[in-house]
Structures are given as structure tokens and as C-alpha cells.
Amino acid sequence: MTRGRLLAFMQRTPRWRVLRRAAHDTLSPRAVALHAPLQTSEARRLVHSLLTHPHLPVSAHSQRFSTSTAIQLLYGLAPLRMGGADPARRLGEVAGELFGSVKPGRSVVDLLPVLRGVVARSAFLRRKADVWYEQVPDLYTKFYWSASADSTQPCISVQLREGKYKDISEVDAAWLVGVLLLASQDTTRVALQYFFLAIVLHPQYAAQAQEQLDTVVGSRPPTFDDLPRLPWIEAILKEVLRWRSPTPLGKVASAGRKWGQADVTSGAGLAHAASEDICYGEYVIPKGTMIFANLWGMSHDPDLYPNPEQFDPSRFLLPSGELRPAPPDTHEDYLTFGHGRRACPGKDLVLRELWIAFAYVLWAFELKKALDDAGKEITPDPDAFVDVGAVVCPAEMGVRAVPRFANLEDLLEKARSEMK
């Protein structure tokens, strides 16, 4: 469907290396730090939207936050307003069609490989793929060239256009930015939803983080400069991504099913393939074998994380309150971003985006269970989810965001004016 242009699906070739290097350069820790003002502004807008639109579900707030941040950072577009038009909506729709088509078990070839040749010759499927592909290059290129070099905010599309990447074609660069949009948007949106779920169900950990916030920042909103002095926020971030990875793969099922009920016809994540025969112990994995990283299994390994089903951010803290050293080979306890040459290049960007969002929300609100029409609390099911393309989302839920400051709106406005 992608004609070999989507970075995540490319073979490891010189062209792949060039695009991968460009992604790493534009998303390096130093480059990502330049986006701190944008990410902080969006965290403030997230709090404001929770304050002014209290009856909307968590998914609406998470969607606006993740999309607004992504389109500004990648394309230099204006921030999204709650309920406003999303200029990148069609990009998300075509991505959903793509990732839906590559879900494990979606194709009969996954179950009956002997039919690979028959399916490959199917005129119907070729036409369907052609129709999909014809829409995408124009969309990606349109957004890529819409990015203005006059913006005061660093923009990745402009960085690629004006940078040192002379050996990257315009079309490849446009596709690269497009896939960064899809990846960052989905991961951030779903992780933020799981954050709300976890805190509503386990308010005692929010209280620990808020005690630390009150000591460090008081009535002013948190900033990235506060990160080293707020280990509880990072512990919550690590635990959210461990407890409910947006791309768990190995323990997922179809919509409405429970976590831990495996279904081979469904899965969130992208398949890999062995590039050569691999010897592993007594086993030989033949070249071309479909391989998945079972992130759920790794992050719920009781040898690494005791009582893995329990949401407990304190597992990442020493008795002194400092972050504990991560076990070997866990990528600083962030297994969800993958491994090796195919690890997510946007890890630092997403982690900073989530950190400032978590910090802002916990600084601003007590998060409580939503109420039904009779005024009774609705306890969300931590094991209910919806399997959507490349990610697994929690079931729809509401939240009561109770301000921790009587003058919260004034504090947000003051923070906004000081950032100008």
C-alpha cells in the first residue's frame, strides 16, 4: 500500500538509513528541548479544556492535546481549539485504514501463508491499495509544504526542507513527517487516557505527586526546569507506560474484550520480519518469519516488576524518594518504545510531552470518578479496552477534574501571558 515509502515498513537499505538518521537528528534530546515552550503551552491548554469542558470524555481532551501538539511541532499549524476543525483529520483517517490492514491476522495470508501468491495477484486488492496510495502523497506533500519558515516556533518540516538532508527527496521527507505525526499522535493520546484511568482508580499516588508539586512549585504551574525535583511525576509516567502500553501486542483482543485475553486475530503493534536465519538456543527462526515484540509480557514480567498487574509508581522510587536505577535491558524502564534499530526515534519527544501534561494536570486538579445521572460514582473498568489499529485504547470514560486552586483560571492566564 505504501510503495515502500513508510519508514516503519521499509527494508534496512541505504535509503532507510538516511531517513532514520534524519528522524534521529530532528528528534534528538537537544532538538526536542527546543519544543519546550510549545509543549508547555499545550499542557496549559489541556488543563484549560478540562476546566471549561468538564462533561467531555477523557478521549476528547486527549485527542485535542495530542493532535494540536503534533501539527504545530511538525507542520507549524495553529493550535486546535476544543471542538474546532482538525486540519489533519484526513491524515489520521488514512493512517487508520493502513494500520487496520496490517493488524496481525487481518489478512488470510497470516493464517495460511500458502495463499500468499494468490492474494498478491488479486486485482481487487491491488485496486484497493492503489486507491489508498493515490490519496496519500498529495496529502503528505500538501502539509509538508504548508509549514511556514516565518514561525517563531521550531518546525520539523522546515528543518528538513532547509537542513543538510540534500539526499532526501521531497516525497520521502513528506512521508517521514507524516509517519512522525501518526506515531506521536497515537502514543500520546492513548498514554494520556491511561493516565486519567490510573489516577482516577489510584488517587493515593496522585496525592504523593501533588505533595511534591506543592513543595517545589506551589501555586505556579510546573515547567521542564522542575523535572529533576519532581521524581514522582516521572515515576507515574513510567508506571502508566508499563502498566498499560499503548502497543502491548501480546495480550490484546477485539473491542470490548478484557486485557489478558489473548486473541491471535488481533493485536496492537507492527510486525517485524527476520532478515536472515536466526539461531536462538535450540531454535532456528527462518528468514522472513513474522516477529512481534511482546511488550506486555516484558513489562508484566514479575521478575522485573513484582505484582505487575498492580498500578504502583512507587516501584520506580528508592526509599530516599529518588528514581531507582532501571534494570538492565529495559531502556530506562521505557520498554514501550521498542528495541534496536527499529526503536521509536520520537521517544524523547513523547516522554517530555507526557511529562509536562501529567505534571500540569496533577498540579491543577484532583481527578475523581465521573458521576452518573443519579449522582453515583462510575468506577471505570481498568481491563476494558478498544483495539484500534496500531494501538489499544481504554474504554470510554469521564472524569471529574476538581480545581486545586480557587483562582486556577487566573493562574493559567498569568502563565500564558508570561510565556509571550
Q: How far apart are CA 250 and CA 234, in angstroms?
A: 26
Closest CA to 65 of 220, 233, 243, 184: 184
The DSSP annotation for 213-267 comes to HHHHTTTSPP-GGGGGG-HHHHHHHHHHHHHT-SS--TT--STT-BTT---TT--
Give the pLDDT score at 44.
98
Q: Which three cell numbers stand for residue 218?
A: 506551589
Q: Which of 19-23, 342-346, 363-367 has the lowest mean pLDDT?
A: 342-346
Give the pLDDT score at 147.
82
Q: Where are the domains of the chain?
A: 7-419
Tell me the percentage of the chain whose pLDDT exceeds 90: 53
Q: Does residue 257 surpass a pLDDT of 90?
A: no
Give the pLDDT score at 411.
97
Residues 272-308: tens digit of each pLDDT:
778 889 998 899 999 888 787 888 999 999 999 999 9
Name the amino acid, one letter, at 411: L
Give the pLDDT score at 51.
97
Q: Which residues line the annotated binding site for heme?
A: 344
Cβ contact 188:65 at 8 Å: yes
Give the pLDDT score at 136.
72
What 3-state class would DSSP assign to 399? strand
Give the pLDDT score at 263.
39
| DSSP code at position 33 | H
Across residues 354-364, what is the average pLDDT?
Answer: 99
| 124 membership: H or E segment, kind and range | helix 123-146
Grid look-up 513527517 returns: 177
Q: Compute φ and ψ for 387, nearest 5 degrees.
A: -90, 110
Across residues 146-154, what is the average pLDDT?
Answer: 74
Grid look-up 532507510 returns: 16
Angle between helices 347-364 and 203-216 (to 10 degrees): 90
* Per-residue exposure over 341-362, b if at least 16 CB sit within 10 Å of its own CB, e if not: eeebbbbbbbbbbbbbbbbbbb
Across residues 117-128, what is the average pLDDT?
Answer: 55
Q: How many residues does the chain have?
A: 420
Give the pLDDT score at 252.
36
Name the amino acid, one letter, at 135: Q
Q: Does residue 27 surpass a pLDDT of 60?
A: yes
Q: Which residues line the annotated binding site?
A: 344
Q: How far apart are CA 232 and CA 70, in angstroms?
A: 26
Q: How confident is the model at residue 262 (pLDDT cuts 50, 70, 90)?
A: very low
Give the pLDDT score at 108.
44
How far does CA 89 lie from the centroid of its chain? 17
Give the pLDDT score at 338.
83
346-350 contacts, C-beta under 8 A, 24 or more apart: 346/23, 346/27, 346/180, 346/183, 346/184, 346/187, 348/27, 348/28, 348/29, 348/32, 349/27, 349/32, 349/35, 349/73, 349/184, 350/184, 350/187, 350/188, 350/191
| Rg, C-alpha atoms of the chain | 22
Name the amino acid, one letter, at 54: P
Q: How far apart are CA 27 and CA 20, in angstroms?
A: 11
Q: Which three cell numbers stand for residue 94?
A: 488514512
Report the DSSP beta bridge partners of residue 386: 393
Cβ contact 59:194 at 8 Å: no
Q: Which of 1-15, 144-158, 233-247, 294-308 has the lowest mean pLDDT?
A: 1-15
Give the pLDDT score at 251.
38
| CATH number of this structure's domain 7-419 | 1.10.630.10
Q: How confident is the model at residue 329 (pLDDT cuts 50, 70, 90)?
A: confident
Grid look-up 473498568 returns: 381
Q: Which of 205-214, 233-242, 244-253 has the lowest mean pLDDT?
A: 244-253
Mean of pLDDT over the chain:
84
Query: How far, in Å, are 21, 153, 156, 352 from residue 32 at the CA level?
Result: 15, 12, 10, 8
Q: Does residue 73 surpass a pLDDT of 80?
A: yes
Residues 203-237: tens digit of each pLDDT:
999 999 999 999 999 999 999 999 999 999 999 99
